[in-house]
Structure 1
Amino acid sequence: MNVITKITSLLLALALFQPSLWAQEKNFPFTYGEELNFEVSYGWFNLADAKMVIAKNPEKIEDKEHFKIDVYGKTKGAATIFGRVNDNWGTIWSKETKLPSRSYRHIEEGRYRKHEKVYFDHQEKKAVMELYDRENKNLEKVQEFDLPGSVQDIVSGFYYLRTLDLSKMNKGQSVNIKGFFDKEIYNIKLIYEGQEKIKTDLGEVDTYIFSPQIPKNKLFRGEYPVTVWVTQDQNKIPVKIKANLFLGSLNLDLKSAKGLRY
């Protein structure tokens, strides 16, 4: 994958992986059929569109209701010259446990392809990953991984954050969380930065601000290069994500929202 393709993909992923450990609210701030649409930009250039969608009907696993949640990212315009991205991350997330039962990724980035499914067994602390061929037709490999306990996947983590009572946090408060992604366990430190009123395509909104600690790499600048703004209303939706790169910054801005619970 080239640099532009890789940065765009990473930003879309980091925007989602934001779980936490504060006291939970009883009711979900989202419901079936919710759809959030974003635009990814670099300076004046619009690079990609992203979409977060909850299926209109529940998914049943062992008679238990689950949310089926999909996230799509697709490059557009001049960005496709550097490498076309057409990704789909998904989770089948239990309403009862607020943990993923399954996750999946269908990745198309330039010539690179990856199709995988992960089955979680939180009681046995195991995850089984199935890898498929380029056309997503034939099973090629099965791997089993030990888990350190209950984990979120790259999509479910963000929706878990939205179930928490964010109003009780203090500026500077941090937690360490665990997630399973791409065959590895990640320990992410999440910092609450306070509150801010910002202008968006949906109007002025009051937001909570978060900064995840990102491992040192060649793409991002600083120890906390990514900032996420989440609305203070009952829906708690992300309206803006900013990533500071070594040259300039990449932004992901909410353009429309429908099917909101409140």
Structure 2
Amino acid sequence: MKKTLLAIFLLTAFGLKAQKYELSKEIPFQPGEKIELKATVGFIRAAEATFSVSDVIYTINNKPTWKIDINAKTVGVFEFFSSVRDNWGTYYDTTSLVPQQFYRYIKEGRFRKNEILYFDHDKDSVTVAKLHKETMKLESQKDHAIPENVQDMVSGYYYLRSIDFDKIKEGELIVINTFFDDKQKPFAVKFMGREVLKTKLGDVNALVLVPMMKKDSLFEEDNTLKIWLSDDLNKIPLKVQAKIYVGYLNVELKNVENLRHPLSIIE
């Protein structure tokens, strides 16, 4: 089940220029927030993912930061064919809303990849440290230039949650600068509008987004992915649906804890 849950939420786009957006006056999340998702292919359980914000504020580069982790794993029959244990995380500046540090530890079958990104926004640079796949010892590091206010692939999603969608027009493309795989890559989604979505927690007002991405080894068609976020100050993921080569992938909200704002459930 490689490149599934994390590929869904941590996406790259192409040929686009990032813009600045008006943000909500209130932060959409808080320490201790936890979002659990489950993925199925057809009727078969495939994977689970957890988005969690630590209940501790960490100091990185002399800045207060939230520690945010995304953990994904295969389950059921998919665990038998190709086990996945992925952890992506960021230390996200509570004031400037940029990452101070990013890490990813990838275990997918026999494949391993470990790296840490150290951001220096005063110098518009990032140091990418590659770690040994087993011992985690430093193997190499390299500096890269980055644009102002760049995000990583985790903080980019939390920045997206901060955008005031009342100021976004239906059909508008949202583009956020990110740094990923040793280079700058824009993260882009199209705002398709609003609708009511039936969820485990009830009927919820939702924002509908389509990430701009090309057909690849996972997705069968261009821009085939569709994401529903709660249409409230939280903007948590409610559902993801995509046509992939082995069928239809559905990701649905399983549980939430410690949301900062009321969820937009229709009574």
What is the percentage of aligned positions where both structures have the same residue?
A: 34
Q: Quick one: structure 1 residues 21 and 252, their matched pair in 2 at CA, closer, same or farther if it must change by over 3 Å?
A: farther
Q: How many angstroms apart in 2 are the aligned matches of 1:14 and 1:236?
A: 17
Q: Is the 8 A contact 1:21 1:175 kept in 2?
A: no
Q: Which residue of the partner structure matches residue 130 of structure 1?
A: 129
Alpha-carbon shift at residue 12 of structure 1 (Å): 4.9
Q: Is the 8 A contact 2:34 2:52 kept in 1?
A: yes
| 1:167-221 Cα shifts (integer Å, max 9, x gaps) | 2222111133221112122123321000010111111100001111103423213
**Residue 2 of structure 2 is aligned to residue 5 of structure 1:** yes
Residue type of the partner of 2:25?
Answer: K
Q: How does 1:102-121 map to 2 (within 5 A)?
A: 102-121=101-120
Q: Is the 8 A contact 1:90 1:104 kept in 2?
A: yes
Alpha-carbon shift at residue 20 of structure 1 (Å): 7.2
Alpha-carbon shift at residue 10 of structure 1 (Å): 2.1
Structural RMSD (CA): 1.9
> After TM superposition, which residue ranges in structure 1, 4 or more long, deviate above 3 angstroms?
6-9, 12-15
Residue type of the partner of 2:81?
Answer: F
Q: Which residue of the partner structure matches residue 242 of structure 1?
A: 241
Q: How many angstroms apart in 2 are the aligned matches of 1:222 and 1:259?
A: 36
Q: Is the 8 A contact 2:177 2:186 kept in 1?
A: yes
Q: How does 1:61-210 map to 2 (within 5 A)?
A: 61-210=60-209
| 1:122-144 Cα shifts (integer Å, max 9, x gaps) | 23221101111123431111111
Q: How many angstroms apart in 2 are the aligned matches of 1:41 and 1:194?
A: 25
Residue type of the partner of 2:225?
Answer: V
Q: Is the 8 A contact 1:179 1:187 kept in 2?
A: yes
Q: How many angstroms apart in 1 are the aligned matches of 2:221 and 2:206?
A: 23
Q: Quick one: structure 1 residues 76 and 247, their matched pair in 2 at CA, closer, same or farther if it must change by over 3 Å?
A: closer
| 1:197-252 Cα shifts (integer Å, max 9, x gaps) | 01111111000011111034232133311111111122221111112224422111
Q: How many angstroms apart in 1 are the aligned matches of 2:8 and 2:100?
A: 25
**SS of residue in 2 equivalent to 1:241:** strand
- Unaligned segments of structure 1, at least 5 residues: none
Alpha-carbon shift at residue 22 of structure 1 (Å): 2.3
- Unaligned segments of structure 2, at least 5 residues: 13-17, 262-267
Q: Quick one: structure 1 residues 127 and 98, their matched pair in 2 at CA, closer, same or farther if it must change by over 3 Å?
A: same
Q: Quick one: structure 1 residues 172 and 29, their matched pair in 2 at CA, closer, same or farther if it must change by over 3 Å?
A: same
Q: How many angstroms apart in 1 are the aligned matches of 2:246 and 2:75?
A: 21
Aligned length: 256
Q: Which residue of the partner structure matches residue 260 of structure 2?
A: 261
